[in-house]
């Protein structure tokens, strides 16, 4: 997650490595306070994992309205549609990460991605999950009448 890069003041031609903040670890105890605050103050969310199978943090980033830049893998491609609700890069190829970050310098693309990311995350809200569960219960009741 990058926290302090300002699109208006980022140096031209700056690579992802030159804009990276110091690594920050969040413990389970800090999730609600520090991590939520970090998401709220971030300019975007970089997700480097190619082994994560569920990707809840991608949804957390999207729910925060952040443009997600994720390493291309099967699970991330189920959540992120490149250029629509996030951007994908090829793990192990820093130039593709740099290219994705450069794409986010376009304010129209960034705004569109943020909007679509938030809409994607809302599909997985507790309200929607509860409605789905209720429908399954109703279907089971109807089937066994």
Strand extents, DSSP E, 16-114:
45-47, 68-71, 87-89
All domains of the chain in start order, with CATH: 28-143 (3.40.50.2000)
- Checking if the pLDDT of 114 tops 70, the result is yes
The pLDDT of residue 27 is 61
Contact present, 57 and 113 (Cβ < 8 Å): no
Return d(Cα 62, Cα 142) in angstroms, integer.
Answer: 36
- Checking if the pLDDT of 39 tops 50, the result is yes
Q: Between 132 and 16, whose confidence is greater? A: 132
CA angle 121, 78, 34 (to 5 degrees): 45
Return d(Cα 70, Cα 67) in angstroms, integer.
Answer: 10
> For the segment 42-68, what is each residue's pLDDT rounded down to a tens digit?
888 999 989 887 788 899 899 989 999
Q: pTM for the whole thing?
A: 0.72
- Checking if the pLDDT of 7 tops 50, the result is no
The pLDDT of residue 29 is 64
Least confident of 2-11, 22-31, 41-50, 108-117: 2-11
Q: Between 39 and 89, whose confidence is greater? A: 89
């Amino acid at each position: 997650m990058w926290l302090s890069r300002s699109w208006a003041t980022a140096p031209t031609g700056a690579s992802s490595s030159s804009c990276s903040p110091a690594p920050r670890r969040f413990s389970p105890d800090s999730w609600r306070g520090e991590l939520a605050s970090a998401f709220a103050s971030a300019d975007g969310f970089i997700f480097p994992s190619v082994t994560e199978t569920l990707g809840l943090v991608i949804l957390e980033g999207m729910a925060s309205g952040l443009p997600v830049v994720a390493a291309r893998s099967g699970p991330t491609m189920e959540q992120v549609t490149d250029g629509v609700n996030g951007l994908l890069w090829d793990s192990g190829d820093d130039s593709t990460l740099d290219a994705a970050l450069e794409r986010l310098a376009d304010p129209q693309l960034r705004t569109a991605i943020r909007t679509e990311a938030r809409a994607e995350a809302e599909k997985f809200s507790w309200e929607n999950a509860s409605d789905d569960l209720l429908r399954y219960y109703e279907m089971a009741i109807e089937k066994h009448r």
